[in-house]
Structure formats: C-alpha cells, structure tokens
C-alpha cells in the first residue's frame, strides 16, 4: 500500500497520516472507515461533508484496488475546505459590531453574540486593530457561519454566528520539551544567545538567576554559557521558552551556577551548594546602569556648589528605567521633597532600610504599607528634586544611619532547609548531566519528576 500525491495540496502533517499507515492497513478496506479516521477532530455540527468537498488529494492503492480519499484541512477544529474563507485584519477603530454587521448580521444577533462572549472573551481588550480574523462562510449561501479571532498563539476564539450564537475559547495544546543549549560569546551575549535560538525570555531568566554573581552588562568575549530550559511548542512550532531549570555561566575560569527548585513550598534558584540565588540584598536597584556618583561624605555638590556629603550611590539610567527594591520589605514612605524629589523608602527589617530618590513616577500599587518582594519594581528613574540628570540616588540605612552599601557586609542569603538538601542535590546532579547535552532532551521520566523527590529522576536521555 502506498500513498501518491495527486495535487500540490498534500496535507499529511496536519493529520499525522504517516503515523496512521499501519492502522489504515488494518481498517482501510472501506472508504467510509478510512474517512472516519480523517475526521477525528471536527468538532462542529454544521459541517456537511457532502458535495462541497474540495478535490481529491490522496489515493490509496492496495490489494483491493485503488480509491481516492479526501483529506480536509483541519483548522480551528473545522474542515475549513468545506467553507468559503475570508481573512482580514481588524481595522483601526473598527468594532466587532461593525465587522459583524458588515457581514450582514442583524443587530439583535450581534447583541446576543456580544453578550454571550462576556465570560469567554474580553472584547474591549482583545479586539484590537492589526489582529487577524478569519470568517468561514457557507459555500452555498455565502452566509457567515463562524468568526475566528486569535488573541495569542496559545488560543483562538470561535464566534458561532448562527443558531446558538455562542462563543468558544479553544486553548491550543502546548507541548513542552527540555532543551539544552551551549554557547560562547564572540561579540555580544545577545548575539550568542540568538545564534543558539535562545529567546529573550530565557535570556532574562538566566540574568535573573545569576544577577547576584554575574554582571551581564559587562559580558566578555570568551564567556561561556549552558542553559537547560523548557521549550514550548504548538503544532511543532516553537512559541517561546518556559521555565529555566539550570544555567551555568563561565567567566575568567570561574563557574557560576543556578538550579531551579520548586517543591510547592520552597521555590527559586539555588547555587551548587543549595544556597538561594537571591541574596539578602541586590547589588543595585537598577538592572543596567552605571554608578555616576559614589557614596562620599565630602563631595562637592554639582548644583549647590559647596562641599556637601553624598550619603548615597547614584546610578544613572534613562528616565523611565524601572527601579527595583533591593530586598523584601514594607514601604515606609512614598513622598516628595524639594531635594529628594519623588522617593520611596522601604523597611527591610529592624536594622535595614533603603531609599530611592528622584523618581519620575512611582510604580502602580506602591504606597505606605505595601509589601514588596526583592526585585519588585517600585518606581521609575527620573530627575525630580535636586538632580542634574535622570538617575536614582540609592540610600542604604543601617540602624537609622546612612552607610555605603558597597562597603557593607550584608546579610547572607538563605541555604536550603536541611530536610530538602538531599533532594536538591539529586536534582542538581541531573541538571548538570543534562546541561552537557545539546538540543532537545527526550526524557519524559525526568519531565514528570521535575522538582519532586522521586528516585527515578536519574534516567539519562537516549
């Protein structure tokens, strides 16, 4: 038995026909049965598979002779070849109502449809200019039957324009696979990452995981990295990365590691020894910045033109750059003064407070009493108050006095609890082993046990 192309519109892939060869041999003695195999996912009741089918595309040949089989294109759950298809982009200022009435729908039906969409689809937020839409029309009558919108690659929305006038959201199945990547920096980190098909999300996670150890604004030629992360795919196409599980970064002969651990209670990146990658405090409140003025009790003030102690560290960055809380804490002050401009002060514990001056604006939700996490955005760089240009003046308070945070021996980060450390070591060793590989890792066993204490984790990929 063999398959022959009878046109350029072969659609093997979508139906996984190649994989079905065997079952076809068993079952495919009657066209009806074979056809049944080809329509497994058609989910709508309005399709008529009769006279309006597209030309035949595949011919089965075998002991019982040769006969044609119709292979429809399944998209959005419909055999869309059975419809007339209209595709377009939502125009500027076009409303869903306008689109639908332009297709000849009456107002009452539109109203019902919009009402029925409420729990499924936020029209105001997701019906936006520039987004694609697809309309499936009845081939015989030309009447619109379904409107399909795709708010994201992860889902599509089907508006059924007749009968029940209902709206369905269909989430696409996302396959995840472990992927290991190795690279070396020849020019920039970003170039090296994209050469290895690492997307910006995985890159950002790597920076987060190692931010206490590696200054990524000064990557060097010869730096090496290894990453182990989840690759997410829809219909075989990559739609970006998911969780980062492990990272190794090498610079000047030194190895830095971070491993993801999550057992539902303890969650985060840990180094080789099981020490949390989140230090007591971040090194700086900005991600990419330069120190424009150091802590200096005897500084000559650039605006006041007198010797005035500078009891903070200035980090210059463009207006609007996010400012992060360097540690967990509670917002103590959100205020404006002539000198400080807009500022936020955070209490971390009995001993330490931090303060961030000259903000252009505060982050949403930041007010007195707000709990903040380490690395949470609390405001944005500006030049309010006495400032020559956009920067954040970062002030570090210890027992009520301002000190140079770069000279302080700050509290150490937490080590993994004793009763979990063995579990962590096991996981870490697996991660290390997998990071040595390259490309996709087919280890379904591992995938099920990520973050769990299961002994079976050890299975090496073939």
Is the CB of 274 or the CB of 312 nearer to Zn ion? 312
Least distance from Zn ion to the Cβ atom of residue 385, Å: 10
Task: Find the shortest distance in angstroms from Cβ 314 to Zn ion.
Answer: 4
Interface segment toward Zn ion; rule CB under 5 A; list 25-33, 90-98, 348-356, 386-394: 386-394
Cα 30 to Cα 38: distance, rounded to the nearest angstrom:
13
Residue number, 348 or 358, with CB nearest to Zn ion: 358
Q: How far is the CB of 361 from Zn ion (least distance, A)?
A: 19
Smallest gap, in angstroms, from Cβ of residue 100 to Zn ion?
Answer: 57
Query: Does 393 contact Zn ion by CB under 5 A?
Result: yes
* Smaller CB separation from Zn ion, 393 or 427: 393
> Are the CB atoms for 93 and 79 separated by under 8 Å?
no
* Closer Cβ to Zn ion, 230 or 314, answer by number: 314
Query: Minimum distance between the CB of residue 148 and Zn ion, rounded to whole angstroms?
Result: 55
In the complex with Zn ion, the residue whose CB is nearer, 82 or 340, is: 340
Question: Which of residues 147 and 282 has its CB atom nearest to Zn ion in the complex?
Answer: 282
Edge-first strand order for the sheet with 322-324 is: 322-324, 377-380, 361-362
Sheet holding 267-270, edge to edge: 267-270, 254-262, 237-251, 224-234, 175-184, 439-441
Print the binding letters for residues 302-321 with Zn ion: x by CB under 5 A, - otherwise: ----------x-x-------
Listed ranges 102-110, 330-338, 359-367, 387-395: which one lies at the site for Zn ion (CB under 5 A): 387-395
Instruction: Give me the least distance between CB of 318 and Zn ion, in Å please.
Output: 17
Least separation in angstroms between residue 346's CB and Zn ion is 17
Q: Cβ–Cβ contacts within 10 Å for residue 166, how many?
A: 14
Q: Which stretch binds Zn ion (CB under 5 A): 42-50, 184-192, 263-271, 389-397?
A: 389-397
In the sheet with 83-89, reading across from the earlier edge strand, the strands are 83-89, 132-138, 144-152, 155-160, 167-171
For residue 289, the minimal CB distance to Zn ion (Å) is 13
Number of Cα atoms under 13 Å in the Cβ half of residue 21: 10
Stretch that binds Zn ion, among 24-32, 294-302, 348-356, 390-398 (CB under 5 A): 390-398
Number of residues that bind Zn ion (CB under 5 A): 3
| Minimum CB distance to Zn ion smaller for 312 or for 327 | 312
Nearer to Zn ion, 185 or 393 (CB): 393
Nearest residue to Zn ion, scored by beta-carbon proximity? 393
Binding mask 269-288 toward Zn ion (x if CB under 5 A, else -) reads: --------------------
Find the part of the chain contacting Zn ion (CB under 5 A) among 103-111, 194-202, 255-263, 392-400: 392-400
Give the nearest distance from C-beta 358 to Zn ion in angstroms. 8
287 vs 358, beta carbon nearer Zn ion = 358
Between 327 and 341, CB nearer to Zn ion: 341
Q: Please state the closest distance from residue 226 (CB atom) to Zn ion, in A.
A: 39
Binding site for Zn ion (CB under 5 A): 312, 314, 393
């Amino acid at each position: 038995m063999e398959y022959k192309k009878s046109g350029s519109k072969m659609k093997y892939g979508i139906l996984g026909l190649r994989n079905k060869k065997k079952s076809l041999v068993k079952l495919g003695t009657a066209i009806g049965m074979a056809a049944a195999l080809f329509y497994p996912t058609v989910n709508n009741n309005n399709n008529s598979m009769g006279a309006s089918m597209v030309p035949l595309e595949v011919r089965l040949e075998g002991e019982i002779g040769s006969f044609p089989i119709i292979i429809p294109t399944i998209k959005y759950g419909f055999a869309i070849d059975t419809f007339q298809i209209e595709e377009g982009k939502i125009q500027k200022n076009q409303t869903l109502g306008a689109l639908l009435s332009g297709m000849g729908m009456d107002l009452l039906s539109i109203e019902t449809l919009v009402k029925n969409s409420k729990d499924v689809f936020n029209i105001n937020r997701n019906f936006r200019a520039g987004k694609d839409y697809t309309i499936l029309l009845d081939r015989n009558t030309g009447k619109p039957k379904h409107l399909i919108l795709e708010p994201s690659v992860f889902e599509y929305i089907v508006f059924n324009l007749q009968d029940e006038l209902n709206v369905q959201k269909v989430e696409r199945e996302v396959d995840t696979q472990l992927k290991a990547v190795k690279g070396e920096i020849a020019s920039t980190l970003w170039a090296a990452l994209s050469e290895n098909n690492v997307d910006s999300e995985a890159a950002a996670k790597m920076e987060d995981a190692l931010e206490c150890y590696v200054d990524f604004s000064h990557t060097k030629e010869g730096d090496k990295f290894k990453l182990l992360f989840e690759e997410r795919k829809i219909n075989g196409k990559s739609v970006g990365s998911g969780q980062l599980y492990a990272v190794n970064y090498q610079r000047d002969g030194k190895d830095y590691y971070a491993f993801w651990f999550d057992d539902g209670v303890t969650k985060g990146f840990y180094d080789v020894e099981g020490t949390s990658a989140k230090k007591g405090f971040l090194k700086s409140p900005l991600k990419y910045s330069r120190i424009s003025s150091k802590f200096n009790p005897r500084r000559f003030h650039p605006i006041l033109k007198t010797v005035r102690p500078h009891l903070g560290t200035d980090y210059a960055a463009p207006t609007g750059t996010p400012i992060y809380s360097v540690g967990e804490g509670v917002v103590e002050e959100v205020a404006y003064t002539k000198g400080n401009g807009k500022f936020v002060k955070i209490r971390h514990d009995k001993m330490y407070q931090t303060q961030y001056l000259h903000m252009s604006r505060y982050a949403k939700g930041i007010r007195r009493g707000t709990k903040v996490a380490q690395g949470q955005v609390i405001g944005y760089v500006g030049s309010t108050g006495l400032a020559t240009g956009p920067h954040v003046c970062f002030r570090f308070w210890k027992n009520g006095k301002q000190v140079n945070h770069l000279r302080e021996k700050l509290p150490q980060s937490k080590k993994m609890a004793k009763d979990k450390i063995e579990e962590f070591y096991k996981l870490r060793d697996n991660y290390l082993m997998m990071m040595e590989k390259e490309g996709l890792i087919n280890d379904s066993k591992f995938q099920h046990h990520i973050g769990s204490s299961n002994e079976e984790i050890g299975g090496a990929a073939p």
